[in-house]
Amino acid sequence: MRPYRVPPYAIGMSHTITQKSKLIGRIRRIKGQIEAVERALEAELGCADVLMLVASVRGAVSGLTAELLEEHIRHHVVDPAHEKNPDKAKGAADLIDVVRTYLK
């Protein structure tokens, strides 16, 4: 099975490579949180405790998603800090803010 890639980004996402160790660290923390959910289920903890653990996993995944989307916008769509057209810069900054807010 071929990995899914959207042209013109067929080679890869360079911003994920430059942030690789940071992203891997986040993934490892999420993995630990998932394992905590598994342990809680195996230990037959109460549903409220399990739900709190699941909520923390959801928050961590949402934070990772927001970070990846923001970097994707900055590197592949438009970087508001470097865009000369003020309308495009504001639109990109607004989109980044919406993504952050939505994924909180």
3 belongs to a structural domain? no
A 10 A CB-CB count for 53 gives 19
Domain of 77 in residue numbering reads as: 14-102
Phi, psi of 2 (to 5 degrees): -80, 145
pLDDT of residue 17: 73
Counted domains in the chain = 1
In which residue ranges of the chain is pLDDT below 70?
1-15
What does the DSSP 8-state code read for residue 1?
-
pLDDT of residue 2: 53
pLDDT of residue 4: 47
pLDDT of residue 9: 47
Q: pLDDT of 39-60, one tens digit each?
A: 999 999 999 999 999 999 999 9
78 belongs to a structural domain? yes
pLDDT of residue 64: 93
Residue with tokens 């949180």: 33
What CATH number does residue 72 fall under? 1.20.58.1000
Is 43 in a helix, a strand, or coil? coil
